[in-house]
Chains A and B, each alone.
Chain A
Amino acid sequence: MSHIHIPDGVLPWWLWLSGWLLALGLLAVASRMATGAGSRRAVPLIGAVSALVLVSMSSEIVPLAYHINLTVIAGVLLGPWLGAISAFIVVLVLALLGHGGATVVGLNTLVIATEMTLGWALVRGGLRLLGHKRVRPVAAISTVITLAITTTMLVGIVALAGTGATARETGALDAETLEFRNPFGDGVFTIGLLGDGHDHAGETEEEHAAHADDDHDEAGGLSVKRFAAVVYTLGPFGWVLEALVTAAILGYVARVRPSLVYGTPAAEYRVRYGDEHGGH
């Protein structure tokens, strides 16, 4: 549930535009914080970690048709501010490769940035609380909690769109109003696809418009309940899988490069030459 797979033009314009504005505001703050810490070191690090997240998102686990996200790990390595920049970059590159809508880049950035920040806070807090030896369970539990929260965020976004959105705002069209007319014989035939059986042929233009408006209103926006039921049913499988993978990777990294997980933030971390492949 790391990013919203909602096509362009489905969410109302005010929602995705707000997402863009909030994301740009977050980027401005995050950039100021990151630049203060030294952007020269941050730029290649964000680039490498964002690329890693993108590579993981493009690799499917056989045969489950699930792609891992590594957002919690990215959060642990980058921290909240660099994480927010990385979230924007990941979402933007994904959108440019057709994976996720361009209009929802802002909302997706907010969701992934939240995931990275929560992951960072929960893993660091958990390790401080439970000790360094429990890195795997801490990573797994943090991932599940993080993904459960961001999934709820996703449902909240759809709920915001669903309650306020009319069929026209969401770009939705009611199947019952879908009709085929002959341009060469005005009103000769009008077939309602999956129609309600109503014959609108004898109506005046005003009556027809009124009917269509009623139909649009009935069609309403998105079905939030059904959407929530689907994501809360399928989501937990993804959460558990992501948690297992995150735990395995962080456990491995903690074994070969412990300072990356327990100590210095990656932005200040430096590998000694000759120790690039783990000397622990």
Chain B
Amino acid sequence: MDVTAVDRSAVLGDTLLHRAAPASKLVSAGLLLGAIVTVNDPLVAAGLALSLVGAGAAVRLPLRQMLPLALYPALFAVVFAFAAAPGPATGALFVLKAVTAALTVVTLMFSTPYPQVFAPIQRITPTIVGDALLMTYRSLFILAEKFSDLLRAVRLRSGVSARQPVRAARATARALGGLLLYSLDLSQREYDILRLRGYEGGMRVRRQVSTDRSADAAALLYAALILAVVVVFRALPHELGGYAWLVTVVGAVDLATGLRIGRRT
């Protein structure tokens, strides 16, 4: 999980989605998550996943970095599907739901700086939770880099080897122990800085506005259309169930078109 890549893309990226207002992207992501919760047909879910990848490709989001993150939950979903799904189609649906939901949130995070994503959460949670959320994300990058350095140092001393899992676990534990102490020191330094700056609780995030209204409209329309299709297929399962394969085909067309547009621009 390369969190630094997420932040780099969110802050430095310049795609159509980056130009939309965070509020529009959050609403769109909410609508898409609603569609994922509602979908009960694996063919519709597959179409939704393909279409999302196509949309990402069309606006030239860094899919090479996004897809491994989005596919990661599939590993756990496969285990869950194997353990709990009543049949193969349901199992496939579970995996597709996991991947599509991950793709939705990953798309949001790759195109929106994290303070803007956390801002609405800050508004509905107690002050300490919102502030700690921002501090967590900030500390995450520092600790991830520090841990990577520690592991590299251990590896250079042949401490982590696939052939010796016990030794590898011991070396990882030692590195994490060092990281724990470092993280406590870090929290103390941050506390001192907060005191110096007169922090009394309540970090405010300045709301980012849209620089391209058409980007907002496109994101919202796309998400609303997806949700509408899923709701219709869910509401009329007997009448439309047999035509769900058409959604997969449309998703595949979306993907092909998106890849083509992405290559051209």
Contacts and interface: CB of A to CB of B under 8 A. Distances in A.
Main secondary structure of the interface of B (DSSP, over half): helix
Interface string B67-84: 001101100110110111
Interface in A177-210: 177-181, 183, 190, 193-194, 205, 208-209
Contacts of B168: 61-62
Given A6-B80, A73-B180, A178 B89 contact: yes
Contacts of A28: 126
Given A9-B97, A248-B173, A231 B132 contact: no
Interface string A84-96: 0110111011011
B265 interface: no
Contact of A100 (B69, B73, B138, B174): B73
Contacts of A277: 181, 185
Interface string A206-220: 001100100000011
Nearest to B42: A173
B105 A96 contact: yes
B105 A55 contact: no
B83 A47 contact: no
Given A46-B132, A98-B72, A173-B93, A221 B140 contact: no
Given A88-B129, A98-B101, A44 B69 contact: no
Chain B interface bracket (under 10, 10 to 19, 20 to 34, 35 or more): 35 or more
Chain A interface bracket (under 10, 10 to 19, 20 to 34, 35 or more): 35 or more
Given A9-B37, A48-B186, A51-B183, A89 B133 contact: yes
Given A46-B135, A96-B105, A98-B106, A276 B37 contact: no
B125 A54 contact: no
B251 to A, nearest CB: 15
A222 B117 CA distance: 33
B194 A43 contact: yes
B37 A34 contact: no
Contacts of B134: 47
Interface in A20-68: 24, 27-28, 31-32, 34-35, 39-52, 54-56, 58-59, 61-64, 68
A62 B241 contact: no
Interface string B180-220: 11011111101100110001110000000000000000000
A270 B188 contact: yes
Contact of B173 (A222, A244, A257, A278): A244
